[in-house]
Structure 1
Amino acid sequence: MSLWAKAQQLPPESLQQIRAIYGDHFPIEVRHYLAQYIEDKFWSEPLVDSPQHEQYVATLVHSLINEIENKAAVVTDAEYFLTKLKLAEAARMFRQKYSSNPMQLFTYVRNCLAAEMRLIQNASGESLAGLPNMIISNSGAEVMHKIDILRNRTQSTAEELRRMEQEQEAFAIQYHECTKINEYLGSREEQ
């Protein structure tokens, strides 16, 4: 039985914890509709710090985005219209947010899968054979989330600082021009 199938059989409070694991960064609908793909692809490779692995991860993330778009495209039933929109939006978000740093999404998904696995193990008391034994604290996904929030805040603060520096420079130029004009007008009045 797949990890996701086992997760769906958990009691409601554990399901809420699983939903919280994924949060806004990885919509639960993507996890649901691409469960087997995610488990096959994101669990299969060990974390290696090498350029080849980074290329593999970039290709994997691009492939995941394509899979999400394909899944959204085949949803034609009006009953699943919102799901189709959610999947399409997730694909857009992943492309915008993670195209420049696919390793971030790869690591985030692996941490989510590890947390999901721990919840299942805790609820059932069984060991999940066949899945990598990753040791990540229960707060691993939460730490990743907080790091991401801090990174976003840092980026927005840097952008705000650049904007303020530009405004200050524009003000200094305008002030200098105004001072020159006032001096010129003052000298004209004296004449």
Structure 2
Amino acid sequence: MAQWGQLQMLDCKYLEQVDQLYDDSFPMDIRQYLSRWIESIDWDTVADQDSLATVRFHDLLAQLDDQHSRFALENNFLLQHNIRKIKRNLQDRFQEDPIHMAMIISKNLKEEKKILDGAKNRQDIPLTSMLSE
């Protein structure tokens, strides 16, 4: 099971820790909607290479456009609005410094892993999710 899916199965005390990782600089909405894509990228490598960070930044914007289109097909005006707003904010914040975005994503993924590991060590993860890894 993907990391984001495992996190969502955790107890509230762990979800509060996850909540603290995300803010306006990189909203949790993006993590939710693009979880598979985000987890498929080696963000440590991206954060070390300016040209690769620029490519991944534009890939992320394209992923948001795709998500916007899905919401349009569902006639979900509010989520379309939110995605447009998130995209504008990301462009304003990271267009000139895409490495910073990659560093945030890399750090958040590592922190999520620590939260999951902590829950596993305390055996606060349902047995079924541990078996499916």
CA contact (8 A) 1:29 1:83 kept: no
Contact 2:47–2:100 (8 Å) recurs in 1: no
Alignment correspondent of 1:105: 101
In structure 2, the partner of 1:46 is 45
Counting only pairs closer than 5 Å after superposition, residues 147-162 of structure 1 correspond to structure 2 as none
Deviation readout 1:63-104 (Å, 9 max, x if unpaired): 1011112201221334x4322222221111111110100000
Distance 1:114 1:48, change over 3 A: closer
Q: Distance in 2 between matches of 1:42 and 1:24?
A: 23
Mapped contact 2:64–2:87 kept (Cα < 8 A) = yes
- The CA distance in 2 between the partners of 1:70 and 1:96, in whole Å, is 20
Matches within 5 A, 1:34-183: 34-43=34-43, 46=45, 49=48, 53-76=49-72, 77-78=74-75, 80-125=76-121
Once residues 62 and 26 of structure 1 are traced to their aligned partners in structure 2, the CA distance between those partners, rounded to angstroms, is 15
Alignment check: 8 A CA contact 1:58 1:103 kept: yes
Looking at structure 2, the residues matched to 4 and 118 of structure 1 have their Cα atoms a distance apart, in angstroms, of: 13
The two structures, once aligned, show a CA RMSD in angstroms of 2.0
Classify the secondary structure of the residue corresponding to 2:96: coil
Alignment partner, residue 28 of structure 1:
28
Does structure 1 retain, via aligned residues, the 8 Å contact 2:25–2:93?
no
Contact 1:42–1:109 (8 Å) recurs in 2: no
Q: TM-score, normalising length from structure 2?
A: 0.82
- Give the structure with higher Rg (CA): 1
Change (3 A) 1:57 1:48: closer
Q: Which has the higher contact order (CA 8 A, sep 6+)?
A: 2
Moved over 2 A (4+): 45-49, 80-84
Task: Count residues with an aligned counterpart.
Answer: 122
For 1:6, the equivalent position in structure 2 comes to 6
CA distance in 2, matches of 1:108, 1:89: 19
**Shift in Å at residue 25 of structure 1?**
1.2
Shift, 1:47, TM fit: 5.9
User: Match of 1:46, as an amino acid?
Assistant: T
